A = this chain, B = another copy of it.
Amino acid sequence: LDYQHVQVPFEITLWIMLASLAKIGFHLYNKLPSVVPESCLLIFVGLIMGGIIYGLNDRSPPVMDTDIFFLYLLPPIVLDAGYFMPSRPFFENIGTILLYAVVGTLWNVFGIGFSLYGICQVEAFHLRDVSLLHNLLFGSLIAAVDPVAVLAVFEEIHVNEKLHILVFGESLLNDAVTVVLYKLFRSFCEMPTIKSVDVFAGVGNFFVVGLGGVLVGLIFGMTAAFTTRFTKDIRVIEPLFVFLYSYLSYLTAEMFHLSGIVAIIACAMGMKRYVEANISLKSHTTVKYFMKMWSSVSDTLIFIFLGVSTIGENHEWNWPYICFTVIFCLIWRALGVLVLTFFVNRFHVNTITSKDQFIIAYGGLRGAICFSLVFLLPDFRRKKLFIAATTVVIFFTVFVQGMTIRPLVDLLAVKRKRESAPTVGEQIHIRFLDHLLAGIEDISGHWGQYYWKDKLEYFNSKYLQKILLREYDQPKSSIVLLYEKLERKHAIELAEAGQLGHAPSHPSLLRSAFLCSDDDRTVVTDKKLEDALNPDVLENIQEILARNLYRIRRTGPAYSRHTLPGETEPVEHAKEILILRHKSL
């Protein structure tokens, strides 16, 4: 027996296997996942595993290695998040998200830090040796909302898209703020005196870290898109480039002390549309599938490790400090959301309701990032107290908030995500309004969201597409692309239901589609819309519309990270087709 030789890959494989089997186990009992979020169950598995290791070895089980977390487990999750980020709601709410992510996080850090320092001044609590700087350092790591925890919970409760993107976007973008503050306070802790110049340098650092991350990400994203132009003859390695370039963007950003999370998100969002156009359909399926698989496994491993690492002897218990930490985390977040939303609502027509505000405040879950950061702290007397407090905050938010948020969403009747995709009518009107508003903003000289979007789109089609896309000579309207996608999906479902060859050709629907689009055409006066919908494109749309009108009403179901779209009931479709056919006969 030669275990030494294969130990490293064997143990890694076994951990991943454990994670995958745990996931299967939960889904075998259908009732369990609907009551308890998966993250709680996984932490529980981790606790049991940790207990077993502790019992057998009689020493603390290994804690989750910070390097493993930041270098190997976090990137797949963030890549998945960035690649599947719904870009429209994200960019529509980018201002609000940034406000929450930057100002909100600062508010929380200083709020929690200073008020905990206040608690430390109470003689009875025996905490006089925790300095203000240590409290602020602790605040900087405990304040940040965790994207992994937020994703795990919010994907199961299906709140409306805006609410989801506000919480999730904040959790992703606050990384830049957390990185800067954490490093700033850590270096302050080690400095003998702090000059005001250092503080200003710290503030300037925000922009460097955040915007630098975006820049690094975009550079790698564009390079990835450019590379996939040349993969036509070796389709099998296409998916690799998506992963390699994203990972390189993350590592490069981390190397230069920029925000790796921001970089990988910028990379994924930047490359997506070009890469998708360049690579083959099967490569694309593989990319999507593997991203989901990878992030799903990483996420499982993180929660299991979180449980395992909790067991052991690295905790110092101090009731007042820990209780007040949990309370302050809740209070300051609630206050922050209230104040910031007040300002946001003054400048927006589409306001954030008080119910939504409650869910935003309540959805501020903490997770593995805090946990890794607290272990990264330099050794000092009270490090174990901080570890204990962080663990309690994470467990409180994941278990108590994570498990009660679904009943609360039901109770408050928070607006849910619509289960169906928008219809063609809606999509055409949204697009029409976009062009109209861009025109209005252009004429009135207001440099708003639509103006910039339009300029970006122009830049994209004029320069970027020519460089990054392989087959630029056939630019297709996004609606045409959508229909091609739907049609492919439909064809597969038909074939699986054994109905191919029986699809009706709908002459009546064809005529009505023509009429309908003629009506639309008389409405269209905006020059830009006319450009986008020139006769050829329109004909293309009409042709595809005609063949698909009975399909339009139902597109994909709501997004869930544990299923891939396109695995729905083919039998129903087949039935519908039969009914339609009978009618036409």
Interface string of A1-25 (1 = CB under 8 A from B): 1110110011001101100110110
Cross-interface CB contact of A501 among B281, B292, B503, cutoff 8 Å: B503
> What is the interface size of chain A, counting residues whose CB is below 8 A from a CB of the partner?
79
Main secondary structure of the interface of A (DSSP, over half): helix
Cβ–Cβ contact B543 & A6, under 8 A: no
CB pair B504 A503 closer than 8 Å: no
| CB of A564 within 8 Å of the partner chain | yes
Q: Mark contacts of A251-295 with chain B using CB atoms, 8 A cut-off: 1 yes-contact digit, 0 otherwise.
A: 110111100000000000000000000001111011001101100
A 203-238 binary contact with B (CB < 8 Å = 1; else 0) = 000000000000000000000000100110111110
| B495 x A505 contact (CB < 8 A) | no
A20 x B503 contact (CB < 8 A): no
Distance in angstroms from A217 CB to nearest chain B CB is 15
**Binary B-proximity of A24-68 (CB < 8 A = 1, otherwise 0):** 100110100000000000000000000000000000000000010
Shortest Cβ distance from A263 into chain B, in angstroms? Answer: 12
A571 — which chain B residues lie within 8 A by C-beta? none
A248 contacts partner chain B, Cβ-Cβ < 8 Å = yes
Q: A71-B6, A234-B23, A282-B564 are in contact. Are A495 and B488 (CB under 8 A)?
A: yes
- Known A-B contacts A233-B27, A289-B282; the reply to A256 vs B1 at CB < 8 A is yes
Chain B residue at minimum C-beta to C-beta distance from A232: B27
A490 at the interface (CB under 8 A from B): yes
Q: Is the CB of A547 within 8 A of B501?
A: yes
- Near B by CB (< 8 A), chain A positions 63-81 give 67, 71-72
Contact at A498–B567, with CB atoms within 8 Å? Answer: no
Partner of A290, one of B16, B286, B506: B286
The reply to whether A247 and B9 form a contact with Cβ atoms under 8 Å apart is yes
A63 CB to nearest B CB, Å: 18
A236 touching B488 in the complex, CB below 8 Å, given contacts A10-B251, A247-B9, A547-B500: no
Contact across chains for B67 and A5 when beta carbons are under 8 A apart: yes
Report yes or no: A244 in contact with B16, Cβ–Cβ below 8 A.
yes
In the complex the two chains form, is B292's CB within 8 Å of A254's CB? no
Within 8 Å by CB of A503, from B239, B290, B500, B564, lies B500
User: A289: which of B239, B490, B561 is its contact (CB, 8 Å)?
Assistant: B239
Which residue on B lies nearest to A292, using beta carbons?
Answer: B236
List the B side residues contacting A251 at CB < 8 Å: 6, 9-10, 13
Whether A237 pairs with B490 at a CB distance below 8 angstroms is no
State whether the Cβ of A433 lies closer than 8 Å to any Cβ in chain B.
no
Asked whether A24 lies within 8 Å of B234 as measured between CB atoms, the reply is yes
Q: Is the CB of A474 closer than 8 A to any CB of chain B?
A: no
Determine which of B20, B234, B255 lies in contact with A240 in the assembled complex, contact meaning CB atoms within 8 Å: B20
In the complex, which residue of chain B has the Cβ closest to the Cβ of A244? Answer: B17
Q: With contacts A9-B71, A20-B240, A501-B506 known, what are 14 further pairs, Cβ within 8 A?
A: A1-B255, A13-B248, A27-B233, A27-B234, A236-B289, A236-B564, A240-B293, A282-B285, A286-B286, A290-B290, A487-B500, A491-B491, A498-B544, A500-B547
| 16 A-B contact pairs sorted by A residue (CB < 8 Å) | A5-B67, A9-B71, A16-B244, A27-B234, A234-B296, A236-B289, A239-B293, A280-B567, A281-B492, A282-B289, A286-B293, A484-B495, A492-B492, A500-B503, A501-B503, A501-B505
